[in-house]
Amino acid sequence: MDWGLLDRYAKSLIKEAGHKIRVSFFSEIEIDSKASANDLVTNIDRQVEQFFIRKIKNDYPDHKILGEEGFGDVVRTLDGVVWLLDPIDGTMNFIHQKRNFAISLGIYVDGIGVLGYIYDVVNDELYHAIKDGGAYLNDERLPYLSSIPLSEAIIGLNASWVAPNQYMDHKKTIELVQSCRGTRSYGSAAIELAYVSTGRLNSYISMRLSPWDIAGGMVIASEVGAVATNLKGEKQQLLGQDTFIVAVPSLHKDILDNYISLKE
């Protein structure tokens, strides 16, 4: 496989999809809800996913595609080449704010992340990485992250995890909030992974993410020295929903050891 060629191909699809999304701002967007009233999807999420799938099926017919909106393949294993795609990560932001959303894409080979992309469409900022080849914002190489104590760290965290919730002891999360320098919540896992990779955030934590939310960002984060696992400290399975944390190793360990208590 010519990874450089596949990288250029993936970038060209992402840029074209980003253009389609920007154009969509000039027409009315159709909004539906999925599993719950606040789990939103639009005709644009669907159209962009279908655009990727049409192209990839034509140009790389033996690749599999796991897409959030379900137009891709039924993917039960990560054997072979698998594209993990979220056409719009942060759909609620897309609808309400027209910013703070991204196209999120990871290309995995036999379960290993080889290419990763996060495209902040509105700011025309493309984060990408090739395994063992470094991470980039547009064409600028992102520096390796330095370690940082929790007392100086800014953590990406949704307020839902500080309120009583079904996944974790929220009193520990309150302690985390009180022990770090500050918290932020952007509403797009992909954007938050990009921010951790550039050092704008030092960690990002979520109780419930899907493979397409994080697959691309994990390749990027790994190239700048961050570790991404679930909140038990285990490797992400990337075949179903899971908890999630990304941070440089010392901060990752401190948060998991001292501030996370999962409910069984």
Q: Which does 188 bind (CB under 5 to 8 A by kind): Ca ion, ligand 2AM, none?
A: ligand 2AM
CB of 11 to ligand 2AM, least distance (A): 21
What's the half-sphere exposure (Cβ side, CA atoms, 13 Å) at 181? Answer: 12
Asked whether the beta carbons of 57 and 64 are under 8 A apart, the reply is no
Residue 192 near Ca ion by CB under 5 A:
no
- Shortest distance, CB of residue 89 to ligand 2AM, whole angstroms? 4
List, in order, residues 6 or more apart from 170 with CB less than 8 Å away: 161, 162, 163, 164
210: contact with ligand 2AM by CB under 6 A: yes
Q: How far from 230 is each of 106, 142, 197, 233, 236, CA to CA, in Å?
A: 18, 24, 17, 5, 6
Helix (H, G, I), strand (E, B) or coil at 99: coil
Q: Which of 67, 90, 106, 211 binds ligand 2AM (CB under 6 A)?
A: 90
Nearer to Ca ion, 101 or 259 (CB): 101
Task: Output 176 or 209, the one with its CB closest to ligand 2AM.
Answer: 209
Residue 242 in the binding site for ligand 2AM (CB under 6 A): no
Regarding 39 and contact with ligand 2AM (CB under 6 A), the answer is yes
| CA separation for the pair 222, 252 (Å, rounded) | 13
Determine, following the binding rule CB under 6 A, whether residue 238 of this chain makes contact with ligand 2AM.
no
Region class of 5: left (phi > 0), else alpha (psi between -120 and 50), else beta: alpha
Contact call for residue 69 and ligand 2AM (CB under 6 A): no
Binders in 64-93 for Ca ion, by CB under 5 A: 68, 86, 88
Report the C-alpha gap between 137 and 218 in whole angstroms.
Answer: 15
Complex with Ca ion: residue 213 or 223, whichever CB lies closer:
213
Contact (CB, 8 A) for 251 and 153: yes
Is residue 223 part of the contact set for Ca ion (CB under 5 A)? no
Site for ligand 2AM in 115-174 (CB under 6 A): 158
- Radius of gyration of the chain from Cα atoms? 18
DSSP letter at 159 equals G
d(CA 36, CA 75): 24
Give the residue, chosen from 49, 86, 120, 242, that forms a contact with ligand 2AM under the rule CB under 6 A. Answer: 86
- The reply to whether 241 sits near ligand 2AM by the rule CB under 6 A is yes
d(CA 127, CA 193): 10
Which CB atom, from 86 or from 120, has the smaller least distance to ligand 2AM?
A: 86
Judged by beta carbon, residue 48 or residue 228, the one nearer Ca ion is 48
Q: How far apart are CA 15 and CA 136, in angstroms?
A: 16
Q: Which of 24, 42, 91, 243 binds ligand 2AM (CB under 6 A)?
A: 91
Please identify, among the stretches 6-14, 84-92, 133-141, 196-204, the one whose residues bind ligand 2AM according to the rule CB under 6 A.
84-92
Which residues contact ligand 2AM (rule: CB under 6 A)? 39, 68, 86, 89-91, 158, 187-189, 208-210, 213, 241
